[in-house]
Amino acid sequence: MSSIRNIMKSFYHENPIGKLLLSPFIYYRNYIMSDKTYILKRFKRVMGYNLDLNNPKTLNEKIQWLKLYHNTPLHTQCADKYAVRDYVKNKIGEKYLVPLYLSTTDPNEITPERLPEFPFIIKTNHDSSGGIIVKDKTTINWIEIQQSLGRRLKKNYYHHSKEKQYKDIKPRIIVEKLLIDKVGNIPNDYKIHCFNGDPKIIQVDSDRFSNHKRNLYNVNWELLPFTWSIWENNEPVWENGTTIQKPESLSTLIDLAKTLSKDFYYSRIDFYVVDKEIYFGEITFHHGGGTEIIFPKKWDSFYGDGLQIPINQG
Which of 273-276's residues contact partners 24+ apart within 8 Å by CB, and which partners? 273/187, 273/188, 273/190, 273/247, 273/249, 274/179, 274/180, 274/181, 274/187, 275/181, 275/182, 276/248, 276/249
- The torsion region of residue 210 among left (phi > 0), alpha (psi -120 to 50) and beta comes to alpha
H helices then E strands: how many in the chain? 10, 13
Contact 40, 67 (CB under 8 A): no
Is 180 exposed, middle or buried (CB count within 10 Å of its CB: 0-12, 13-18, 19+)? Answer: middle
Percentages helix, strand, coil for the chain, rounded to the nearest 5?
Answer: 40, 20, 40
* CA–CA dist 27, 105 (Å, integer): 26
* pTM for this model (two decimals): 0.90
- Give residue-wise pLDDT tens across range 55-77: 999 999 999 999 999 999 999 99
Name residue 102's beta-bridge partners: 175
pLDDT in tens, the chain (314 residues): 455 555 555 645 566 675 666 677 676 677 788 999 999 999 999 999 999 999 999 999 999 999 999 999 999 999 999 999 999 999 999 999 999 999 999 999 999 999 999 999 999 999 987 899 999 999 999 999 999 999 999 999 999 889 999 999 999 999 999 999 888 888 889 999 999 999 999 999 887 667 788 999 999 999 999 999 999 888 888 888 778 899 999 999 999 999 999 999 999 999 999 989 999 999 999 999 999 999 999 999 999 999 999 986 55
- What are the tens digits of pLDDT across the range 177-198? 999 988 888 888 999 999 999 9
| CB proximity list for 83: less than 8 A, separation 6 or greater | 76, 77, 125, 169
Angle (CA) 170 162 19, round 5°: 90
First to last CA, the chain: 32
Rg (CA), the chain: 20
